[in-house]
A and B are shown apart, each in its own frame.
Chain A
């Protein structure tokens, strides 16, 4: 029983990271209809940059994180402006190919700047709490809290603010939004800024909890898409539920079945859900 609880707690931390990635993907998809495949690599860029600032330059984490977030956001907005905007009217296959090309470019940039070594962002959070037999490392607790905070902030932004309302309006009906006076040229930029900030936060968490290495970003974005599909494309609550479900499934699979096959089990769960709910757990039936 304790063991199950332990794995669930582990799963929530990983699930939180997945939720952050998936929230970025789902809002981009909702607005532009683009499967933003480069998202994982951009997130890893932020993680690498944080590592470089902290371990290489000796800059404290509290300064390094905002710097990495800003750099990531600029990169994300540049991608929207320079690469996705020109293919907005093209077929979704072409937009997807652009996304693949971008992934290669960002992966190449990461290799060029940060090398191909596996890196771990150093933190001083070394304490381990023990709550009724369930061990909870300090770092993992902070990751869960930070993820929860960011998810809440993003939800409030999208649900409660004027800009958030405009984002939802464009996602729902672009033409009607234009008629209502929404500036559809700036909205994608706002969405990319928000999505990339969440992505970079996830990248930093991965870098501190596990490690960053070439290829990790692609793995992460695939998990993000799996979450999207599980929860329902374009649905924010779906991304949150889907991410936690995927994280916990993976942890339980790693703890009780086989850690080598944990991803296989996670994907099979996703496919199984789709057989019964093709629109995802919380998606609307089309």
Chain B
């Protein structure tokens, strides 16, 4: 596809997203759309380490949890304004990611995936048991919304919060785009292709891997912070391994190593389980089956499928 066509597609998607609250009549779908946009932010981060660098990290939701709890706790105990704590959440998450990333990134392939998985479990168990700080399973309620400036900008209004999250999602997608287009992004993709070669060229691959890992954690931390202030309630349950797997799925199903992939994937991961609700207890089985089939028959995700179709149509002309 030409560059113009791609730009038009992105512009069209943005227009649809801006118009979405006006098109949706059911409040619940607006709620899901906000969650999907938060997942979009997390998935863009996940894509940096998983899609572009080729390292499957299974600690995305754990980092979301760190972002969510740090913004909440800083507000509660230090009395900082919500805007400031949201901004501080990604750097806080980055500190944890540095500690986690250093030992994890010494491992490759499956080792790395499983070590990060272990870290997600550690985060989860600590959130669950450090009740003095996190209030454990009961969770923390009454997390404040960001303060609005005008009457119209009341963040208690779902629609306002939607546009707020949309703005952040566009911004983070832009950052991801800038990273991917930069020299750093080129090196990350080179690491995915052949890490030994990158090392042989005299590039310290571990620095770049650590950068991608920490950047992905910051995206997740930001997503977690937005989640906490949106729901006004957090407990450890939503920051477990299952949710980390959702982030991985969003990237894979959408199309890993593409900018559009996580966008599509995030919406699928949030909306598909809802649409399968009619199936009740079979939901898990159908969801799993769809995943298996999608991976076998559509290994490059929806974006890959669209590219193949596009190429076929262009070839026929």
**Interface residue? A101 (CB, 8 A):** yes
Taking CB atoms and an 8 Å cut-off, the chain A residues in 77-116 that contact chain B are: 83, 86-87, 90-94, 96-98, 100-109, 111-112
Q: Interface of chain A, helix or strand or loop or mixed?
A: helix
Partner of A105, one of B54, B119, B285: B285
* Distance between Cα atoms of A49 and B54 in the complex (Å): 39
Closest 5 CB pairs of A and B: A104-B288, A101-B291, A108-B284, A105-B288, A108-B285
Residues from chain B with a CB closer than 8 A to the CB of A102 are: 288, 292
**Interface residue? A147 (CB, 8 A):** no
Stretch at the interface among B153-161, B216-224, B241-249: B241-249
Please give 13 more A-B residue pairs, beta carbons under 8 A apart, in addition to A105-B288, A222-B121.
A86-B296, A93-B256, A94-B252, A97-B248, A97-B252, A100-B291, A101-B290, A103-B288, A105-B289, A108-B283, A222-B114, A226-B114, A268-B122
A-contact bits for B273-314, CB 8 A (1 contact / 0 none): 000000001111101111110011001000000000000000
Contact of A108 with B282 in the complex, beta carbons under 8 Å: yes
B-contact bits for A241-263, CB 8 A (1 contact / 0 none): 00000000000000000001101
Stretch at the interface among B14-22, B102-110, B143-151, B181-189: B102-110
Contact-residue size bin, chain B (C-beta under 8 Å from the other chain) = 35 or more
* Distance between Cα atoms of A137 and B69 in the complex (Å): 43
* Distance between Cα atoms of A132 and B241 in the complex (Å): 43
Contact of B118 with A35 in the complex, beta carbons under 8 Å: no
**Interface residue? B56 (CB, 8 A):** yes
**Interface residue? B111 (CB, 8 A):** yes
Residues A105 and B114 in contact in the complex (CB < 8 Å), given A111-B284, A275-B103, A275-B106? no
Partner of A92, one of B109, B119, B282: B109
Contact of B288 with A90 in the complex, beta carbons under 8 Å: no
What is the chain B residue whose CB lies nearest that of A266?
A: B118
Contact of A90 with B299 in the complex, beta carbons under 8 Å: yes
Least CB distance, B110 to chain A, in whole angstroms: 5
Contact of A109 with B121 in the complex, beta carbons under 8 Å: no
Partner of A93, one of B252, B288, B289: B252
Contact of A229 with B115 in the complex, beta carbons under 8 Å: yes
What is the chain B residue whose CB lies nearest that of A279?
A: B111
Between A and B, 6 residue pairs with Cβ closer than 8 Å are A94-B295, A104-B285, A104-B288, A106-B288, A233-B111, A274-B111
What is the chain B residue whose CB lies nearest that of A283?
A: B111
Contact of B125 with A263 in the complex, beta carbons under 8 Å: yes
**Interface residue? A52 (CB, 8 A):** no
* Distance between Cα atoms of A270 and B104 in the complex (Å): 11
* Distance between Cα atoms of A111 and B285 in the complex (Å): 10
Residues from chain B with a CB closer than 8 A to the CB of A222 are: 114, 117-118, 121, 241
Least CB distance, A171 to chain B, in whole angstroms: 15
* Distance between Cα atoms of A35 and B56 in the complex (Å): 12
Partner of A229, one of B114, B248, B284, B290: B114
**Interface residue? A278 (CB, 8 A):** yes
* Distance between Cα atoms of A100 and B288 in the complex (Å): 8
Residues A92 and B281 in contact in the complex (CB < 8 Å), given A97-B295, A101-B288? no
* Distance between Cα atoms of A275 and B289 in the complex (Å): 38
* Distance between Cα atoms of A228 and B107 in the complex (Å): 13
**Interface residue? A45 (CB, 8 A):** no
Residues from chain B with a CB closer than 8 A to the CB of A83 are: 292, 296
B-contact bits for A55-86, CB 8 A (1 contact / 0 none): 00000000000000000000000000001001
Contact of B121 with A263 in the complex, beta carbons under 8 Å: yes
Residues from chain B with a CB closer than 8 A to the CB of A91 are: 299
Contact of B284 with A104 in the complex, beta carbons under 8 Å: yes
